[in-house]
Structure 1
């Protein structure tokens, strides 16, 4: 059966409560960010995407975050501009959170899937790069931010029908190198550190179209989008499997992506593992292998928060745990609906992986999908296992 929008919305609400060019220019050594300059504690980075609404002051649990990436700023005529009408109000709300957590860093994320169309032009020449970077500095000063997250989806690839060029591969490096050089000067003037992060694709293709061994020198973290491995398509599968299930026809996993990034020259401590705070579903899935890796009609995922709606287990859904992939999933043999999602158990496994492999931390898309705080609590507990008495109740 095909899911109606309302049924899919209810399904997603409930499932998340189930579980308890030229070669790069030569840069001075001070412009590069060394692997050793990573923070002592691991990052917990929240992407926040309010769009057209104003954030509530108590909406964000700042104590459980190290960094907020506000999504998204847009690019117009080669310059960074506000993306939504209430961005100014929202930056003001987020800056107040630093009273609760003075170590919290606030960055703006520019681009994303929808607004990456201006990157290729902005990065094309020294003049266009300087214009883009100058606008970034102005934006950061205007809203009292701590840096910029560059979410170019994707260099030398069309993405969402974007302008792209073969030169993007080198220009991506140049843009970030020159941005780091300018930030080094500005942070001396502003008397505070200015951070640069990038959101990157988890595929081998992304690595083929970039110079990550060079790029990593100029950024503080590489926010690796290790999710959306199964988006649409004729077959069910895990959205963000930690390890590869041998039966997976796509052979995808978080572990494979991390390994490829390290082989491409990105230090472990700069890799921040991306996790999804949402789920996806397929209909018309045959009752075989509990619906996993079976044909079906995919309902394209929309991200939802999770209120208290009826537990799907009471309506015929069964939760399964794929021990090979370290990933949960749901299947209803009566309605033939399959659901892939993230839960506290899978997040605990990913936090353990981050610790064991000495990665930089966890980032997630996106905060409003976790209105109950269940998933954020799991990430915080997984990366800070020894909590102080004062933080246990936060």
Structure 2
């Protein structure tokens, strides 16, 4: 039985679930006793202010009322979400944005704000971007932190400020990581989608280490070391996990499927519920384990799916403990109705 007084938001390791406002879930689906934080996603930026229709805020508050130790954080942005560059552009726009964000947080009973700008200085997702984003993002976070600090003194309560950041070197380098960590409680590294919709070559999308065929390739370990190089405290670094897989179709059949050309990119997302039900050693698919990368995949001779599973998450949990990191976060809770993945994380980090 889980000791709720022992396992809470001040626990040694954080377990953060991103919970989608538009996803299919109800309050009884959420094992909140195994979480320290829920990042509720997403609201957006329009005309410099936070907007969002929180369709399931009542359900979230039910969870919080039954689990008062849990921290709920409103996540702003997501892939393709525009408005950040303009909101960060000037001292006036930053003031408007940060005031709007803090008011939205308070009005909706959240304990913090998570900024998911994908990505400063990059228009890859079809958003407005400027070279000045690098410095302006720092100033935006500074403005938010200052307002949260005022609230903390007023209400005698701590408020969380976090960001979600991509794992690629160039994404990390487009931020003043050596400065922004001073304003943040957590840096959530999206160590997933590291391969997928941008390539026709199969590969791991949530691998802990670089694969043997690409020893300098992108990985969770490489991203963590990159961020640590800027002087970021280990306790602020949150490793990412995926409750979904990336599928390539029309893969050249070499018997293994890894690092092979495919007719499609890995843009097709498959939730873990379906992977568990239909693909793991079923319907002609065979599960494979890459012990170098500490990553799982399935292959049937023509379709390849890269995903996180119990074994990969056990390895990520051990990595977090061995490297004294802050904890783990995952996208997205409702994508695993088997509860297999959260159990693996919880057992790895809490049931020592």
**What is the TM-score with the length of structure 1 in the denominator?**
0.83
- 1:206 alignment counterpart: 171
Describe the SS at the equivalent of 2:109: coil
Distance 1:40 1:65 in 2: 10
- 2:22 alignment counterpart: 51
C-alpha displacement of 1:289? 5.4
Describe the SS at the equivalent of 1:313: coil
Task: Please give the per-residue CA displacement for 1:93-141, whole angstroms capped at 9, x wherever unaligned.
Answer: 21222233222000110011121x1001111111111101111121011
- 1:295 alignment counterpart: 261
- 2:333 alignment counterpart: 367
Which of 6, 29, 41 aligns to 2:12? It is 41
Describe the SS at the equivalent of 1:329: strand
- 2:115 alignment counterpart: 150
For 1:181-220, list aligned pairs within 5 A.
181-220=146-185
- 1:304 alignment counterpart: 271
Query: How has the CA–CA distance of structure 1 residues 262 and 250 changed in structure 2, closer, same or farther, with 3 Å as cutoff?
Result: closer
For 1:307-386, list aligned pairs within 5 A.
309-310=277-278, 312-333=280-301, 336-386=302-352
- 1:93 alignment counterpart: 59
Q: Are 1:270 and 2:241 matched, yes or no?
A: no
Task: Please give the per-residue CA displacement for 1:76-100, whole angstroms capped at 9, x wherever unaligned.
Answer: 1100011x4xx1x522221222233
Task: Please give the per-residue CA displacement for 1:125-160, whole angstroms capped at 9, x wherever unaligned.
Answer: 111111011111210111111010001111111131
Which of 65, 84, 91 aligns to 1:119? It is 84
C-alpha displacement of 1:299? 4.8
- 2:202 alignment counterpart: 236
1:80–1:136 CA contact under 8 A, matched in 2: yes
C-alpha displacement of 1:202? 0.7
- 2:102 alignment counterpart: 137
C-alpha displacement of 1:311? 5.5
Describe the SS at the equivalent of 2:97: helix
- 2:5 alignment counterpart: none
5+ residue gaps in structure 2?
A: 1-8
C-alpha displacement of 1:312? 4.8
CA RMSD, Structure 1 to Structure 2 (Å): 1.8
Distance 1:207 1:263 in 2: 11
Structure with more contact order per residue of length (Cα contacts < 8 Å, sep ≥ 6)? 1
Describe the SS at the equivalent of 1:58: helix
Q: Are 1:77 and 2:44 matched, yes or no?
A: no
Query: How has the CA–CA distance of structure 1 residues 243 and 171 changed in structure 2, closer, same or farther, with 3 Å as cutoff?
Result: same
- 1:61 alignment counterpart: 31
Residues 154-163 or 362-371, more deviating: 154-163
Runs of 4+ in 1 over 3 A off after TM superposition: 307-312
Task: Please give the per-residue CA displacement for 1:156-205, whole angstroms capped at 9, x wherever unaligned.
Answer: 11131111111111111111111111101012223321100100011110
Which structure would you say has the larger Rg? 1
Distance 1:236 1:294 in 2: 5
C-alpha displacement of 1:69? 0.6
1:237–1:293 CA contact under 8 A, matched in 2: yes
Query: How has the CA–CA distance of structure 1 residues 303 and 138 changed in structure 2, closer, same or farther, with 3 Å as cutoff?
Result: farther
- 1:254 alignment counterpart: 220
Query: How has the CA–CA distance of structure 1 residues 350 and 133 changed in structure 2, closer, same or farther, with 3 Å as cutoff?
Result: same
1:207–1:264 CA contact under 8 A, matched in 2: no
1:110–1:150 CA contact under 8 A, matched in 2: yes
Task: Please give the per-residue CA displacement for 1:42-61, whole angstroms capped at 9, x wherever unaligned.
Answer: 110011113176x5221211
